[in-house]
Amino acid sequence: MGPSMGLAQSLGLTLAFLAPLPREWPGPRRPDLPRVNWWILGLTAWFLIALTCMPLSLALAEHWALQRIGAHCKASGGRVALVTTDDRRAYRCEPRPAPRASR
């Protein structure tokens, strides 16, 4: 065995041994391939693109809406608070606390 001989060759395994030979066509030539239905192919591609892009566009729309709400809240002097159990909103703007009166 030479140094360039691989493991598969050293065991006597080749692709010709692993795969059966293709069957021969009974006629003089190969049969024609079926025609491609371009409408089905186009609708399938459109469905896959919509299935991929729709969740992304919804997530980006929510992100941009939350950015606008957060910017408006911070501009008014408040802060964006996290979720609480009594308030069922995912976000809210808490106003700035009133300054304490010194005694």
**First CA to last CA across the chain, in angstroms?**
97
pLDDT tens for the chain, 103 residues: list them. Answer: 555 566 656 665 555 666 777 777 777 887 788 888 999 999 999 999 999 999 999 999 988 988 898 898 888 888 887 766 666 666 778 887 777 766 6
Residue among 71, 102, 101 nearest 91 (CA): 71
Q: Could you count the other beta carbons within 10 Å of the beta carbon of residue 29?
A: 6
Residue 57's pLDDT is 93
Instruction: Show Cβ contacts of residue 8 under 8 Å, excluding neighbours closer than 6 positions.
Output: 14
Phi-psi region of 41 (alpha: psi -120 to 50; beta: other; left: phi over 0): alpha
Residue among 63, 61, 82 nearest 71 (CA): 63
Question: pTM for this structure?
Answer: 0.46
Instruction: Show Cβ contacts of residue 72 under 8 Å, excluding neighbours closer than 6 positions.
Output: 93
